[in-house]
């Protein structure tokens, strides 16, 4: 858990120790439940919110909260009209971890078995079934590797 707190504070010191601890606990628990690396969730949130870590972030494409969960007629449709619920960090982080797990399974079943290994599995989080652009997925991968290198023991490594 120390690694997650340290990573959040390194990326977004404006979040503050108390908020970082809350987020870290949610990320650690959701990551463990869905078998998603917590530092990958941290990297996704960092890039999805462009470093703001704002719980009430909204994109022009109807993405909400820390992990920028998309709401449309086909994706998280149960939240149409209830988008404000996605501003709750616990709901948002747990849904993001579940969605990451879904896309990891999808990628393993469809992309790897058909030889389409030209993208990381987390690229599906942004694009769905058909990955159209790898730029953001590569940024997530680079940041994730940096976080692992720097915070693998819970304290910053030089």
Ordered by start, the domain boundaries in the chain are 2-55+88-151
Q: What is the mean pLDDT of the chain?
A: 92
pLDDT in tens, 41-79: 999 999 999 999 999 999 998 999 999 999 887 788 899
Give the position of tokens 């694009």: 127
pTM: 0.91
Q: How confident is the model at residue 118 (pLDDT cuts 50, 70, 90)?
A: confident
Alpha-carbon gap, residue 104 to 4, rounded angstroms: 21
Which residue has better confidence, 133 or 25? 25
Q: What integer pLDDT is reported at residue 155 of this predicted model?
A: 58
Q: What angle do CA 48, 33, 69 make, to 5 degrees?
A: 25
Distance (Å, rounded) from C-alpha 121 to C-alpha 102? Answer: 10
pLDDT at 25 over 90: yes
Q: What percent of the chain has pLDDT over 90?
A: 78
């Amino acid at each position: 858990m120390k690694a997650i707190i340290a990573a959040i504070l390194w990326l977004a010191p404006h979040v503050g120790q108390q908020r970082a601890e809350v987020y870290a606990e949610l990320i650690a628990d959701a990551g463990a439940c869905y078998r998603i690396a917590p530092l990958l969730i941290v990297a996704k949130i960092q890039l999805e919110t462009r470093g703001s870590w704002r719980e009430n972030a909204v994109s022009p494409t109807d993405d909400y909260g820390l992990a920028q969960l998309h709401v449309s007629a086909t994706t998280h449709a149960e939240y149409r009209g209830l988008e404000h619920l996605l501003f709750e960090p616990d709901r948002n982080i747990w849904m993001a971890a579940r969605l990451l797990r879904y896309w990891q399974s999808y990628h393993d079943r469809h992309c790897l078995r058909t030889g389409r290994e030209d993208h990381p599995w987390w690229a599906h989080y942004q694009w769905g079934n058909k990955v159209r652009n790898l730029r953001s997925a590569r940024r997530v991968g680079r940041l994730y590797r940096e976080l692992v290198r720097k915070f693998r023991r819970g304290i910053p490594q030089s």
